[in-house]
Each structure stands twice: as structure tokens, then as C-alpha cells.
Chain A
């Protein structure tokens, strides 16, 4: 099983200037990003690089980034990489919280999640998947000491809420099983 490969998406190249602010600018950039995603139908994960982006306000982040992530929730994943200052991450986080959409951030080789937090009941399941490139419900059931049904339910909920991606595979028994991936 291979880890999902990320498609590089340099946000700065889709912006007219290194500072993005306001809903109108955000909507314009959203359309450009959407076109890029649709032109890469084979890509499942997009790494949104903030290199060259100096500033971004909350409204811009909401319209350009979070709306895009929401649109493809459950089918494609988006991860923020290379934020040049903490304010950028803080403003994207504020936009994610309002739209109830989590996003992963890769910074200094660390993965963290911004936006809404998972529920107490699914937090450990999310941590389990975040520690590895992918996981099945059976892996979580075996290593996490929960029933297969319970593991399956928790992972599906996390996928539904936009914390994880999943792909359908034929299982060894001939049925169908879901492989859950962290978005990074």
C-alpha cells in the first residue's frame, strides 16, 4: 500500500500580490485554485505552499482556502505547508473554525491540525491514523483495543468531518474495505 502523493500548489502564484485580503480577492483566487484542482483530476492531496505569501486576512483565507477544502471534503485533501509567520496560520485557523473545516499544517517537519478539534470519542482514532501514512479499521481495532465496528464508525466519522481521506480497496476476503489516510 502506498502513501497518497501530494500535488504541490503554490498559492502565491495564484495571487496578484503577496498580501491577500478581503472576500472579493479571496473569491477571485478561489476560482483560480478551483481550476487548478480540476485540471489535476488524478491528484488526491494538494500541498498548499505559502512560500511568498506575506499576509492573509481571515476573510481572504475563508473564501480562497477554506471554501476550496470544503468543496472537496471527503474526496480530496489539502494541507498547508511553509507558513512564513504564525499570523498566517492563526488567520487560516480562525477561518477554519468558523466553517467547521479542519486542515493539516506541515511546519518544520511537524504535522498539526488547525480548525475544529475532533470529538473526545474520535480523538484517539485520529491520533492513531496521524502517526502512520494510512490505516484500516482492523488496524485500529487490533492496536487500539476497540471493536471492529467501533473502529470503523470512528474512522468514518473523522472522514465525514474532513479530518481524514479514505479510499476503497478490495479486501483479502473478497469484500470491500476502506483505507484511511492522514492528509499530508
Chain B
């Protein structure tokens, strides 16, 4: 059977990515041997969705499905943007592209020349790129150079990248690559940080250890556990671990950032309220079409310089 994922002729953020997947009934569903992703004229893929699509396409190829991508506008449209951020450099060569794969890599040609974005970076635990978080963060120091708190902002986002990338090294247990990307929009006032892997989701690694490590939490729902991971810190390795994702949330909340966590069949969106991520502002979607791994997107709304705002 053939599964078709049609994206909207509009900006494709996390919500629209999910809507398209739901409508397609899921590329990993039983009997699916061919998957087509269709990008119509006017479709503009945002960076967090781009690396989710990239991970998903590579997952599908690794599970022997035939994958095609149709870009109606060709390189004049979202395909040009995806080429610029290195999407096709990381995409499995067996994925068929229509009208055709870009003749050259926009990312390699223009590397580092657009001060608002960082090309998609590959994360592979057998080939650790120690300088990656610093390179990702460099763009922020350029775009946000007029902010009084630019140094603090860079440190915070550096820590977030480090913790999320290290989580892939420590927990994801997969041979498939993970990806990280960053993009700023609207004169640096909105900033997207995205890290994606194709390994085991957080719940797959945490749930089996609850009985021995945290028996009091065994009856908690996935949503409750996910919120705890970001608010209190929770790890399959015991009570003295789990500071990574909690630390990310602590940095993100300083900038009123929204957290979007996509797991194999669930999605949790944490909206900041009164300087914290409260359980009553956590929106969880269950029984979503399967996408392997953990995909975290953080949207920073940098409208007000924190130092100016507080001063």
C-alpha cells in the first residue's frame, strides 16, 4: 500500500506536521511499502519540522520502505530552503526526489554565510563532534548581538544543545543519525532550537525501570511522567540523575520558551506560565502515527531583552 503525506501550502510547524501525518494514517502502518511526501506550492517547512521529516524519511528507508518526495515548486520553493540548510546532504540517497535532487548542496556552497541559520548538523555517537554546540550557538551571538543579555542567552542555548545532544549519545541506542538545527526569525526575536533522534523514545527507556527505581510513579500517566522529567528531573539511572532535561527546561523558561516533545506515538507541548512549566499547561496528544525516537523543539520568544525588561 502507498501512504501519502500531504503538507499544507503554508508554514509547516509542529502542529501542521502532525496534522499531515494523521491525515496520511501513518507511514509505518501495516502493509505500507511506499511513502510519498508532497510539498505543494506555498509550502514552507520550518526548521523543527524539517528535521522531523528528515529523521522520519531515513527511518522509513532503513525499514525497507520506498520513499519519494515531490516538491511542486522545485528549487524555487521550500526545496531551495531545505537544500540551503543541508537537508538533502543528510537525506538517505535512496529517497527519490521530484523534480530531481539538487545538483549541488546549498549548505556546502553557502556554509556559514547566512547569519540567521545554522545548517542541519548530524549527531552520531560513534563520531562525536565536540565543537558542534559552540558552532550552533555562534549564530546567536551574531543575530542577537544588540541584546544586552546576548552572552547569557548564548550560554543558556549552548547548555540546552549540549544536554540534548548528550542525551542522544547516552540513551537513544540506535545506529541511525540524530540531527540538530537552529534558526532565528524576525530580526532575532524568535529562535528555534531543534534536536531529533531516531532511537528509543524517553518513555521506552524510562517505563521499564519504574518498578525498581521509582515504584511510587508506576501508575502515573505518560503525560504526568513527561512533565516530571522536565520539572523535577527523572532518569532510568536513579534519583541522582536526570538533571539534563530538567536543566534544559530551567534555561528555556528564563526566555518564556515553548517546549515541544515528540515521542514515537505521543507529543507533549509545554507552554510557560508564571515562570514555570505547570502540569495544567501541558498539552499531550496520544496515539499519533509512529515516528521513532525523541524530537525536541524549543521556541524562544525573545521579544523583550530580559536585562532591559527587568531593568
A14 to B250, CA, bound (A): 28
A84 vs chain B, min Cβ distance (A): 11
A58, B240: Cβ atoms under 8 Å? no
B175 vs chain A, min Cβ distance (A): 18
Q: Does B103 contact A (CB under 8 A)?
A: no
A contacts with B: majority SS:
helix
B23 vs chain A, min Cβ distance (A): 39
Q: Does B210 contact A (CB under 8 A)?
A: no
Contact partner of B170 among A23, A55, A99, CB < 8 A?
A23
Q: Does B246 contact A (CB under 8 A)?
A: yes
A23, B130: Cβ atoms under 8 Å? no
For A24, list chain B residues within 8 Å (CB): 128, 166, 169
A side interface size, CB within 8 A: 23
Give the contacts of B157-190 with A (CB-CB under 8 A).
158-159, 162-163, 165-166, 169-170
Give the contacts of B176-214 with A (CB-CB under 8 A).
none
B contacts with A: majority SS:
helix
A135 to B156, CA, bound (A): 40
Q: Does A59 contact B (CB under 8 A)?
A: yes
Q: Does B244 contact A (CB under 8 A)?
A: yes
A13 vs chain B, min Cβ distance (A): 18
B133, A85: Cβ atoms under 8 Å? no
B side interface size, CB within 8 A: 25
A91, B159: Cβ atoms under 8 Å? yes
Give the contacts of A115-136 with B (CB-CB under 8 A).
none
A55 to B134, CA, bound (A): 10
For B159, list chain A residues within 8 Å (CB): 55, 57-58, 87, 91
With A91-B247, A94-B250, A98-B233: A22-B155 Cβ-Cβ less than 8 Å: no
A55, B158: Cβ atoms under 8 Å? yes
Give the contacts of B110-166 with A (CB-CB under 8 A).
128, 130, 133-134, 151-152, 155-156, 158-159, 162-163, 165-166
With A58-B247, A94-B250, A98-B243: A22-B162 Cβ-Cβ less than 8 Å: yes
Q: Does B74 contact A (CB under 8 A)?
A: no
A16 vs chain B, min Cβ distance (A): 8
A86, B169: Cβ atoms under 8 Å? no
* A17 nearest CB neighbor, chain B only: B130
A100 to B133, CA, bound (A): 28
A95, B155: Cβ atoms under 8 Å? no
Q: Does B241 contact A (CB under 8 A)?
A: yes
Q: Does B80 contact A (CB under 8 A)?
A: no
**Which of A22, A57, A95, A98 has the largest count of B CB atoms less than 10 A from its CB?**
A57
B242, A57: Cβ atoms under 8 Å? no
For B243, list chain A residues within 8 Å (CB): 58-59, 62, 94-95, 97-98
Extra inter-chain contacts (15) besides given A21-B133, A22-B166, A94-B250, CB under 8 Å: A22-B165, A24-B128, A25-B130, A57-B166, A58-B163, A58-B247, A59-B163, A59-B243, A59-B244, A86-B152, A87-B152, A91-B247, A94-B246, A98-B233, A98-B243
Complex A-B: 15 CB contacts under 8 Å: A22-B169, A23-B169, A24-B128, A24-B166, A55-B155, A55-B158, A58-B159, A85-B151, A87-B155, A87-B156, A87-B159, A94-B246, A97-B243, A98-B240, A98-B241
Please list the 6 inter-chain residue pairs (A to B) with the smallest Cβ-Cβ separation, ordered nearest first: A87-B155, A21-B162, A57-B162, A22-B166, A98-B243, A58-B247
Interface residues of chain B, those whose CB is within 8 Å of chain A, are 128, 130, 133-134, 151-152, 155-156, 158-159, 162-163, 165-166, 169-170, 233, 240-244, 246-247, 250
